Amino acid sequence: MGLRAAWRALTSRDLASDQIGWQYRDRYRIGTGNVSVTQETALRHSAVWACLRLRADLESTLPIDAFRMVDGRQVEVTKPLLMVEPYPGVDITEHMFSSRFDLDRYGNSVGVIHARTALGLPAQIELAPMADVSARCKGYRVEYWRINGEKYDPALIWHEKQYTVGGWPLGLSPIAYAAWSIGGYLSAQQFAIDWFGAGAMPVGTLRNTKSQITAAKAAEAKGNFKVAVENRDIFVHGFEWEWTPAQTDATTAGFLEERKFGVTDVCRFLGVPADMIDAPNEGSSITYANVTQRNVQLLVTNLGPPIVRRERKWSTALPAPRFVKLNTDALLRMDPEVRERIIVGQVAGRVLAPSEARSLSNRAPFTDAQLEEFDRVFGKPRQDQPVAKVG
């Protein structure tokens, strides 16, 4: 098939759920395992759950603010109700968590716009379950969406996406591309369950050392043996029977290796450093002086770009020239000692006013009585020493 014909075939079909990452089957088998990797079964992988939870938790709890530029400075403006309660009964934190969870699983987040402002901007957005969503695409355009079988015009849909490629209007699913790694882990997990349940491989062999026995005789001996040992009873036999327990060391080691490498692979696909979810990261020699430094690295290399994309998307819900910012400073919370040292330095350098510094600690400006107390304890400042007016 030529490239042009292949492209026509790609863009003329319904984009069903199994093509966007709704359902994927891996072909990697361990023992008797044959695991189907879907968006739901992938959540059984502890590393998948931890990565999705970490990214969604952090992003959804960042304060979301609206600004406009005035004389080269960004000035905060009142947020629309959409950025407080996107849909009746759904808080913005819940909305941001759910949509981030979908973006990191499916590469897409889809919602239905139920109301608009007088300017035609979205006023209410109800997120749709991504397992019920599909789209009809033509070129770089979505012709229509289907949610639970119901058809929607693209103008009625709020669509966020990530992991995009040229010529395709939808985001790619990292879970789909990680299916082999996740499948290997889940297969190893299932194999371990089967193994310790004595279903994946025999727990041992019962051999007649004297003669070749018939199938009927073997079945009879097996039945007698199982009846005898199932309640940890004593198995009585003659000289001709020999019981050999199975050797599990090599298989157990392979199982542990598979689980270990499955975790680090998932972290790479989902954009979370392995040590952030307490996963083993052999060979890594990176050390951090404090928690703040670690969070800066996480923000810059992992969370920063997705946050910028979300800011730009949500800015389209505001009338120009207003725009949206997620306050990433909330992620960089410092320990009290470092925080106070930085604030004092900013006041001394006249970057921050004393009253602003106190407000950061939820304290009211100094009263005249408090200022007089400072003068009594520490003495009045020299007349040639300028004093910043507080309060």
- Shared-domain flag, residues 119 and 18: yes
> Given 245, 275, 295, which residue is the final one in a domain?
245
Residues 59, 157 share a domain: yes
Please indicate, yes or no, if residue 23 is contained in any of the structural domains.
yes
Based on the fold, state whether residues 232 and 271 are members of the same structural domain: no
Q: Which pLDDT score, from 0 to 100, does residue 56 have?
A: 95
For the residues 56-76, what does the mean pLDDT come to?
Answer: 90
Which pLDDT score is estimated for 136? Answer: 87
Domain with 295, as residue range(s), is 3-182+257-311
The answer on 268 and 346 residing in a single domain is no
193: in domain = no
Query: Taking the CB of residue 72, how many other CB atoms lie within 10 A of it?
Result: 5
- Looking at the structure, do residues 346 and 276 belong to the same domain, yes or no? no
Q: What is the mean pLDDT of the chain?
A: 74
Residues 240 and 389 grouped into a single domain: no
| pLDDT score of 140 | 83
289: in domain = yes
User: Residue 173 — pLDDT band, cuts 50, 70, 90?
Assistant: confident
If asked whether residues 46 and 133 sit together in one domain, one would say yes
User: Which tens digit of pLDDT belongs to each residue from 138-151?
Assistant: 878 899 999 998 99
Kindly state whether residue 131 falls inside one of the protein's structural domains.
yes
| Residue 273 CB partners (closer than 8 Å, separation 6+) | 267, 281, 297, 298, 302
pLDDT at 314 over 90: yes
180-209 pLDDT, tens digit per residue, is 566 655 555 554 444 444 444 445 555 666
The total number of residues shown for the chain amounts to: 391
* Number of domains forming the structure of the chain: 3
Give the range with max mean pLDDT: 159-173, 235-249, 303-317. Answer: 303-317
Between CA 170 and CA 183 the distance in angstroms is: 24
In a domain, 160, yes or no: yes
For 222-253, write each residue's pLDDT tens digit.
676 666 666 655 556 655 656 555 444 444 44
Question: In terms of domains, do 174 and 223 share one?
Answer: no
187 found inside a domain: no
Task: Based on the fold, state whether residues 152 and 211 are members of the same structural domain.
Answer: no
Q: Give the pLDDT score at 182.
A: 65
In a domain, 373, yes or no: yes
The whole model's pTM is what? 0.67
Strand segments (E) across the chain: 14-15, 23-25, 36-38, 64-70, 73-77, 108-116, 122-127, 133-138, 141-147, 150-152, 157-161, 204-208, 241-245, 323-326
